[in-house]
A and B are shown apart, each in its own frame.
Chain A
Amino acid sequence: ELKVEQNPLFLSMQEGKNYTIYCNYSTTSDRLYWYRQDPGKSLESLFVLLSNGAVKQEGRLMASLDTKARLSTLHITAAVHDLSATYFCAVVSNAGKSTFGDGTTLTVKP
Chain B
Amino acid sequence: NAGVTQTPKFRVLKTGQSMTLLCAQDMNHEYMYWYRQDPGMGLRLIHYSVGEGTTAKGEVPDGYNVSRLKKQNFLLGLESAAPSQTSVYFCASSRQGLEETQYFGPGTRLLVL
Contact = CB atoms under 8 A, between A and B. Distances in A.
Most A-side CB within 10 Å, residue of B31, B59, B105? B59
Interface in B71-95: 90, 92
Contacts of A99: 45, 59
Nearest to A98: B45
Interface stretch (A13-21, A57-65, A87-95): A87-95
Interface residues of A, number: 24
A45 B92 CA distance: 11
B113 interface: no
Interface residues of B, number: 26
B2 interface: no
A66 interface: no
Given A42-B90, A42-B107, A98 B102 contact: yes
Given A102-B42, A103-B42, A43 B104 contact: yes
Contacts of B43: 43, 88, 90, 100
Interface in A59-110: 88, 90, 92, 94-103
A92 B106 contact: no
A96 B101 CA distance: 12
B104 A92 contact: no
Contact of A100 (B44, B99, B103): B44
B56 A103 contact: no
Query: Which of B35, B44, B98 is most buried by chain A, counting CB atoms within 10 A of its CB?
Result: B98
Interface in A19-40: 31, 33, 35
Interface of A: 4, 31, 33, 35, 41-45, 48, 50, 88, 90, 92, 94-103
Closest 10 CB pairs of A and B: A100-B42, A45-B101, A100-B43, A43-B104, A102-B42, A42-B104, A48-B101, A42-B106, A103-B42, A31-B98
